[in-house]
Amino acid sequence: MRIIRRRIFVNIFEVIDGYAARYPERIAHIHREESITYGALFQKSNRLANYIIDRFEDDNTPIIVYGHKQCAMLVCFLACVKSGHAYIPVDSSLPSGRIEDIVASSASKLILCMEPLSFISEVSEILDFSSILQITGTYNFSPPDKAYRVAEQDVYYIIYTSGSTGKPKGVQITLSNLQSFISWAVPLAGIDAADAPVILNTAPFSFDLSVMDMYISLASGGTLYSIDKNMTANVRELFEYLEKSQVSVCVCTPSFADLCIADSSFRQALLPNLRCFLFCGETLGNKTAEELINRFPCAKIVNLYGPTETTVSVTAVTIDRDICSRSSPLPVGRIKADCVIHILNQHSSEVPEKEHGEIVISGDSVSIGYYNNQEMTDKAFFTYGGKWSYHTGDEGYVKNGMLYYCGRLDFQIKLHGYRIEIEDVENNIRRLRGVLNALVVPGFSDGRLTHLNAFVIREDKNADKSLKGVIAFKNDLKALLPEYMIPKKIIFTDQFPMNTNGKTDRKALALALEVR
C-alpha cells in the first residue's frame, strides 16, 4: 500500500487553486486559438491526478509530459505533482534519439503525449492526446487528497540538460526550490492578481526559462501567453500575435529580443501594456539593453543569472541608462536573500572582490542533484560553508555586491539561451557511422557567440565533402541532437592540429575558421 504523507502546508498548490476559486473564468493559458481558464485547469488537473493515483498507486517515479505549447501541458504538469509525481517536460522538437535517452534515464512508467510519438518506448503506459482529453473530461473530478501532493522536499520537476557524456542529465528541482524562486521572482515583475497580468512565454517548457514565465503567471493569477517555434520563424505572424496579446511582462532570452528589435515596429506602441522585460538564459548585451530602453520607455529591464541547477535564476538587477553607459559587460545582479555567491579560485579558496574565479552558488535554490546519476551529482554538488552548493563552471567576479558573469570555465556554452555541453555534441557526432573523431568549436560574430562549428575526421578519406555531403551529414545528426545543437558549419578534415602538450589545439581550429 502506498504511504501517504500527512504533512500539509500552504504552497503553490493553494495559490493556484485559490485563483481557480476566485477567478474561475479568467484565462490561465493561451496558445494561438486555444485557451484554458483557471476553473478548467483546476478541474482537469484534478481528474487526471485522480487517474494517475488510481493507476499508479504504488509508484512515484517521474512522469514524462511530451508536447510543445498546448494548454493540456499545464494540466498535465499540475496533475503529476497533485498525484505525487515529478514531471519531466519534453519538447516535441527533440529528436527521437534524445527522447529515448531521457526515457531510459528517467525510468518513467507513464508518458503523457500531446502529440504523436515517432517511436514506441518500453514504458508501462503511453496516454495519447485523445485519451488525455477523455480522462480530463469524464474522470472523477473531486480534488485529490492533499496528502498525495509532492511534498516540500520532494522533486517537483526534472529538466534534462546537455551532458558531457553525450547523454542528457536530469536536474531535480524540489517544491521547496521552486517556492523559493517564486517568492523572489514575482516581486521582480511588479505584478499581482488585481492587475490580471499577461506574461509572455517564449521558451519551450523543456527549457527552464519557461519555469520563470509559467510560475510567475500562475502565482500572480495571470495569463500565460505562449509563442511557439513556428512564430519565431515568421516575424510577421509573430508581431500580429504580439499585437493582440496585451502582454505586461516579457520573459525571454536576449536572442529573442534581438530578433524582434530587427523590426522597427517592435516598440511600446506594439505592446502598450508592457511594463517589464525579464532576461535570462544568456548574456544581455549593452546595445540590446540600450535599444530596448529607447523603444520601451514604460518598461523596466531586469537582467538575471542562474543555471538550471539553481532553479532558473538567483541574481537580478534593473538595467538603466546609467548602468549601460558605465558598465560593459552588464552586471547580472545581486543574489537573492536565501542564497550566497562564492567566487573560488582553482584551490577552492575564496578570492578578493573584483578578482575572477568560479561562481559557486549555495542556499535554498540549489537542486538536490541529477536524477539517477550519483556520479555526476558528486562532481557538481557539495557542501560549502555549511550550505548545499553547486559548482557552476562559470567564471565571474563580484564588485560592490554585484555579480558579473565572464563566460564558461569548461566546454559548456550558452547559445540562443540553450545550455550546451560541447562534448555532448562531439560525442553524438562520433556516434555517426564512418566518423573517426570530431571536435566542436564555438563560432562568433561581432564578438558574440552565434553558432557552432564542427571539424570531423571520417574513416573514408574520399567521402563526399561537397555541400550535398554536408547537408546529408547534418540530416543524419538530426536523429541524435535537437536543432539548436546542430553545428552551422561542418568542416571535413584529415587530422587535428596538436599543441605542445600533445593535446588537440582547439585555438588553432578556431583560428583556422577565421582565415577560411
Is the confidence at residue 91, as pLDDT, over 70?
yes
Q: Residues of the chain with pLDDT > 90: what percent?
A: 71
Find residue 147's DSSP bridge partners. Answer: none
The set of cell numbers assigned to 250 is 516579457
3-state secondary structure of 150: coil
Is the confidence at residue 7, as pLDDT, over 70?
no
Is the confidence at residue 6, as pLDDT, over 60?
no
Is the confidence at residue 500, as pLDDT, over 70?
no
- d(C-alpha 178, C-alpha 312), whole Å: 9
DSSP 263: S
Is the confidence at residue 507, as pLDDT, over 70?
yes
Q: Residues of the chain with pLDDT > 70: what percent?
A: 96
- d(C-alpha 477, C-alpha 472), whole Å: 9
Predicted local confidence at residue 26, as pLDDT: 97
The set of cell numbers assigned to 195 is 492587475
Predicted local confidence at residue 499, as pLDDT: 62
- d(C-alpha 434, C-alpha 106), whole Å: 30
- d(C-alpha 120, C-alpha 161), whole Å: 23
- d(C-alpha 156, C-alpha 147), whole Å: 15
Give the CA distances from residue 307 to residues 65, 311, 333, 387, 411, in Å, rounded to whole numbers and listed in that order. 22, 7, 14, 17, 15
Lowest mean pLDDT among 40-49, 74-83, 506-515: 506-515
DSSP 504: B
Report domain 153-336+360-374's class.
Answer: alpha beta
Scan for cell 574513416, then name that residue.
459
Q: 172-183: per-residue pLDDT in tens?
A: 999 999 999 999
Residue 436 near residue 444, CB atoms below 8 Å:
no
- d(C-alpha 391, C-alpha 386), whole Å: 15
Is the confidence at residue 262, as pLDDT, over 80?
yes
Is the confidence at residue 8, as pLDDT, over 50?
no
CA of residue 406 relative to chain centroid, distance: 20
Predicted local confidence at residue 317, as pLDDT: 98
Residue 422 near residue 413, CB atoms below 8 Å:
yes
DSSP 314: S
pLDDT interval class at 9 (50, 70, 90): very low
Of the two residues 331 and 6, the one the predictor is more confident about is 331
- d(C-alpha 116, C-alpha 121), whole Å: 12
Predicted local confidence at residue 392, as pLDDT: 96
The set of cell numbers assigned to 216 is 510567475
Counting Cβ atoms within 10 Å, is residue 128 exposed (0-12), middle (13-18) or buried (19+)? middle
Nearest alpha carbon to residue 397 among 309, 287, 315:
315
- d(C-alpha 214, C-alpha 211), whole Å: 5
The set of cell numbers assigned to 211 is 519555469
Domain extent listing, the chain: 12-150, 153-336+360-374, 412-515
| Mean pLDDT, residues 336-357 | 95
Q: What is the mean pLDDT of the chain?
A: 91
| Mean pLDDT, residues 233-253 | 94
CATH number 3.40.50.980 is the correct assignment for the domain at 12-150: yes
Is the confidence at residue 78, as pLDDT, over 60?
yes
Lowest mean pLDDT among 5-19, 366-380, 432-446: 5-19
Nearest alpha carbon to residue 488 among 453, 438, 440, 512:
453
SS3 for 397-443 is EEECCEEEEEEECCCEEEECCEEEEHHHHHHHHHCCCCEEEEEEEEE
Amino acid type, 211: V
Predicted local confidence at residue 459, as pLDDT: 81
Is the confidence at residue 1, as pLDDT, over 60?
no
pLDDT interval class at 369 (50, 70, 90): very high
What would the CATH number be for the domain defined by 412-515?
Answer: 3.30.300.30
Is the confidence at residue 504, as pLDDT, over 80?
no
Q: 297-315: per-residue pLDDT in tens?
A: 999 999 999 999 999 999 9
412-515 and 12-150 share a CATH fold: no
pLDDT interval class at 195 (50, 70, 90): confident
- Is the torsion defined by CA of 111, 116, 122, 125 positive or negative? positive
Residue 87 near residue 108, CB atoms below 8 Å:
no
Of the two residues 242 and 407, the one the predictor is more confident about is 242
The set of cell numbers assigned to 511 is 583560428
Q: What are phi and psi of 7, to 5 degrees?
A: -80, 125
Nearest alpha carbon to residue 143 among 22, 23, 41, 27:
41
Is the confidence at residue 498, as pLDDT, over 70?
no
Is the confidence at residue 5, as pLDDT, over 70?
no
Scan for cell 567564471, then name that residue.
395
Q: 313-324: per-residue pLDDT in tens?
A: 999 999 999 999
